[in-house]
Amino acid sequence: MYSDSTPSRNRGFVLAVTLIIMIFATTMIVAASIIIQRTSRRLNEYSLLSDLRVASNNLVEGAAMILARKWNQDNFNSSWDGFEDFVQFVSSRGGYEGDLWSEVIQSLDSERWWLINEDEDFASLLEDASFSELTSMGAAVNLTGGKYSIVSWAEKAGVKRYSYGLVLAESLLEHAALRFGDISRVFYEVTTGEMNKDDILTGRGDVINGQAIVIGGVAVSDSNINLELVFPYGLTAKSITPDGSYTYTQTASDSEQYFSDLLADHEDWLASLSPVATYTAPFNDVITASEDGLIVFKPNDSSGSSYTIYFPDVAGSDHRYLTVKYKNDSGVFTTKIYAGDFPVNIAIHGNLLVGDAESDPLKLHYINGQYNITVYGSITVNYQLMYGDFADEFDDARTQGGKVSNQEIKTWSKIKELLNDFSERETGDHLSLVSIGGDIINTYVIGNSGKGTHAIRALAGEFSAFKKNGTGGAFTFPDLGTVVKNERAKLGQLFFFGSITGNRFGTVEEMNYLDNLFVSSTRGITGGTFGKRLILAGLRAW
């Protein structure tokens, strides 16, 4: 019988190949499973690290918001137990980069930490649902050299990560050029052409070289006025009379509420400062200011005497100070406060004279340094004020053509140049004068003589008068009419280099004697109160 063995050999070969393929496939499946497990584990790890970094970054931003609301140097007086752990963590990351970061972090003052976890507002932030899966979290804020460093941490499943934020303070030194509830001024467009001289002012005319806000109505000379020449940076107002076709921003804001909010902002800023001391007469010969500190003056008698502040009559960095004087039945007491590399903050409980009680508006005194002065009472300005670092520009304008310095400035090109130069001025010398519950009174008459040789005033600074409990809030010019009546051939001019803010500006009678109102603020500034704002300049997560 014939038998063919080929089919048997084929079946054995197929079986062997099948086994090999199955073994290979099983190996591939196992390998793929291992790879997938490793990849999944790594993805989970990456996801965890990503979640921790996002959380720690959010904690930095949350701490920055709390810091902005609760600005107080007294908070920065602790050491942080986790500081060394953070330094060690940073040092172990990224080789040379880690060394650099370690050097930066170790330069922080170890005794100037604010343990912000203990703050109730920040603690409530930690209760947010987005942090619910974290086993440990928090932040600490350091103040070194005027810079704020925020370190945050977040921990989950035994893994801890940190973030670091650098926060810088930016000064806000300017306001809108003009902010009032009511203003008695009738605004005129500047006109020239006196005695066939195209560049000479012919009389009334105004320029508000910055944003202007009047919550009430604004009156202009006639409906054909070119409003953009008077308010080149825009006007916000309730209405304009007479009726006409004007380009402006209409507002329906409530005047009382608007200025109450501005006052509240200023009072909140004052409350954020750290009181240096409260001074009553007699004073120390010199009072030392500190950054973000507040120097307070209060009377310890019932005389009702005013305080007096004197600025130097010389411009320049060698004269960076002001003098405070107080007189009562016990004598005359004075102290000197020197400017630093930061604004000097002063609060005075009582009326304030800027200059001698017998006014001399011909005198020019200089603000050398940065000062924020809040007065709980009225402020009487008895002489001209100019920033020391803007003195040359102002002197050039008021003495041009060989004229004596106490005459009006009638050359329109010089006035425009002066206003524009100030609008482009870099931050430097600065003065903020704020009256709470009082008025800002500007004098023109020399002493008690009832006379004045001119009606020209130049005032540099941010001037604000806020009504409080139904009192104050006005800018007044009580003796302007006396001077102009006696010297009618000369213009009544008023220059503000900075800003003016208040519930009311002048009376109709006072404004009748004012030919020119020129106000110039730094270009691009649109409002707000003086103070600081925080900028999160950099953020690094590990």
Taking each helix axis as running N to C, give the angle between helix 96-106 and helix 83-91, from 0 to 180 degrees, rounded to the nearest 10. Answer: 160
Produce one character per residue of 78-113: b if its CB has 16 or more CB atoms within 10 Å, e if not.
eebeebeebbebbeeeeeeeeeebbeebeebeeebb
Residue recorded with tokens 């062997």:
16
Residue 323 counted as domain residue: yes
Compute φ and ψ for 261, nearest 5 degrees: -65, -40
Whether residues 328 and 206 share a domain: the answer is: yes
Q: What is the per-residue pLDDT for 94?
A: 67
Whether residues 154 and 185 share a domain: the answer is: no
Supply the Cα-derived Rg of the chain in whole angstroms. Answer: 34
In sequence order, the 6+-apart residues with CB closer than 8 A to the CB of 81 are none
Q: What is the per-residue pLDDT for 48?
A: 76
Residue recorded with tokens 């030194």:
173
pLDDT (tens, 9 = 90+) of the chain, 542 residues, equals: 444 544 555 556 666 767 777 777 777 676 666 666 555 555 455 677 788 889 999 999 999 988 877 766 668 889 999 999 999 898 887 667 778 888 889 899 999 999 999 999 999 999 998 898 999 999 999 998 777 899 999 999 889 999 999 887 654 444 689 999 999 999 999 998 865 667 888 889 999 999 999 999 999 999 999 999 999 989 999 999 999 989 898 988 889 999 999 999 999 999 999 888 899 888 888 999 998 899 999 998 888 899 999 999 999 989 999 999 999 888 899 999 999 889 999 999 999 999 987 777 778 899 999 999 999 999 999 989 999 999 999 988 877 655 555 677 888 888 998 998 898 887 789 999 999 999 999 988 777 665 665 667 899 999 999 999 999 999 999 887 777 665 555 667 899 999 999 999 999 988 988 889 999 997 644 333 344 556 777 788 88
Whether residues 137 and 199 share a domain: the answer is: no
Residue 21 counted as domain residue: no
Whether residues 384 and 299 share a domain: the answer is: yes
Residue 428 counted as domain residue: yes
Strands 159-172 and 147-156, by their bridges, are antiparallel
Residue 481 counted as domain residue: yes
Whether residues 464 and 499 share a domain: the answer is: yes
Q: What is the per-residue pLDDT for 448?
A: 61
Q: Compute the distance between CA of residue 83 and CA of residue 172 in angstroms, rounded to an integer.
A: 33
CA 49, 55, 57: angle at the middle one, nearest 5? 100
DSSP lists the bridge partners of residue 414 as none
How many domains is the chain partitioned into structurally?
2
Residue 466 contacts residue 433 (beta carbons within 8 Å):
no
Q: Torsion over CA of 460, 466, 471 and 472, rounded to 10 degrees?
A: 10
Whether residues 254 and 291 share a domain: the answer is: yes
Residue 342 counted as domain residue: yes
Whether residues 158 and 187 share a domain: the answer is: no
Whether residues 291 and 376 share a domain: the answer is: yes
Whether residues 193 and 300 share a domain: the answer is: yes
Residue 266 counted as domain residue: yes
Q: What is the per-residue pLDDT for 526?
A: 39
Q: Is the pTM value of this prediction over 0.75?
A: no
Whether residues 164 and 219 share a domain: the answer is: no
Residue 437 contacts residue 267 (beta carbons within 8 Å):
no
Q: Compute the distance between CA of residue 58 and CA of residue 385 in angstroms, rounded to an integer.
A: 47
Give the side-chain half-sphere CA count within 13 A for 451: 2
Compute φ and ψ for 30, nearest 5 degrees: -65, -45
The domain in which residue 503 lies consists of 178-526
Residue 25 counted as domain residue: no
